[in-house]
Amino acid sequence: MRPADLIRRKQGGQAITMLTAWDALSAAVVAGAGVDAVLVGDSLAMVVLGHATTLPVTLEEMLHHCRAVGRGLAAAAANPPLLICDLPFLSYQCGADAAVAAAGRVLKETPAVAVKLEGAEPETLAVIDRMVRSGIPVMGHLGLTPQSVHQLGYRRQAGDPVSQERLRRRALALQEAGCFALVIEHVPAPLASELSAALLIPVIGIGAGDGCDGQVRVTADLLGLTSRQPPFSPPLMEGRALAVEVLGRWVREQGPAPAPVPPTRPASPAAPHC
């Protein structure tokens, strides 16, 4: 699967599915499910590394997890899904040269074939333009953009006509800058449907209703592994409770700990420590 295949799927009216993975194990699971695209999302900062936000995860950590996901996909599927890696906070906001270098490392040092980044500020559009002209496929991300949590919170975005118009302009600008697809998170469903119809590139939604060209979810949320799921991404199973229950049963089955063995008296005095 290549970035252009996602555009062909949209043109053919076929729904696109994307799931996150963070290691070889989760990659094998989502590949086995037959997903079209796998995202090594910076949500792994919270889901896997235990941070309170996505901000602390580093480029080195993203590369490390992306390589593990790549190995898992290669082992699990003859025709692996499209692998995309998030560019973490401050890897693309400090100038176009540094941003292209960061995205280039993703393509050179991991099996990912595309990067995702958040926002559509003029500087971000310039960076996307540079990346695309350097041969780096870019996926955009608008609406709730977790790297801006200290400005936007985790609230639903684009609730009023002014911010809806801004989102329309930004989505179009990302398409014009050369993004091959756009993730749109936690915005009103009618707006997301409208954008899906208006844009030529696929719009992949999360918390954005059923009218998008595709859907993306954080796999750990769907499996119910995280301690709290976002309200727009309910779990499909209670994975965490199930795991605790079966592992707890195994622990209890081991019975009481064996009685401690009494220490034996040494045959000769212990050698002095020198």
Which residue in 185, 238, 245, 253 is the catalytic one?
Answer: 185
Q: Is 69 in the site for ligand KIV (CB under 6 A)?
A: no
> What are the C-alpha distances in Å from 157 to residues 55, 93, 152, 162, 228?
19, 22, 8, 11, 20
**Number of residues located near ligand KIV, criterion CB under 6 A:** 12
Q: Please report, as residue ranges, which positions from 10 to 29 form the binding site for ligand KIV (by CB under 6 A).
A: 20
Rounded Cα distance between 204 and 187, Å, is 12
- The least distance separating ligand KIV from the CB of residue 28, rounded to whole angstroms, comes to 18
**237: which residues sit within 8 A by CB, 6+ positions away?**
223, 224
Rounded Cα distance between 224 and 91, Å, is 30
Task: Build a one-symbol-per-residue string for 185-204: x at contacts with ligand KIV by CB under 6 A, - elsewhere.
Answer: x-------------------
Among 26, 42, 70, 88, binds ligand KIV (CB under 6 A): 42
**Residue 185 annotated as catalytic:** yes
Yes or no: say if 134 and 100 are a contact pair by the CB < 8 Å rule: yes
Question: Which is nearer to ligand KIV, 30 or 216 (by Cβ)?
Answer: 216
Q: Is 41 in the site for ligand KIV (CB under 6 A)?
A: yes
Three-state secondary-structure class, residue 21: coil
What is the Rg, in whole angstroms, of the alpha carbon atoms belonging to the chain?
Answer: 23
DSSP 267: S
Under the rule (CB under 6 A), what is the footprint of ligand KIV? 20, 39, 41-43, 86, 141, 183, 185, 206, 216, 218
For the annotated catalytic residues, the residue numbers are 185
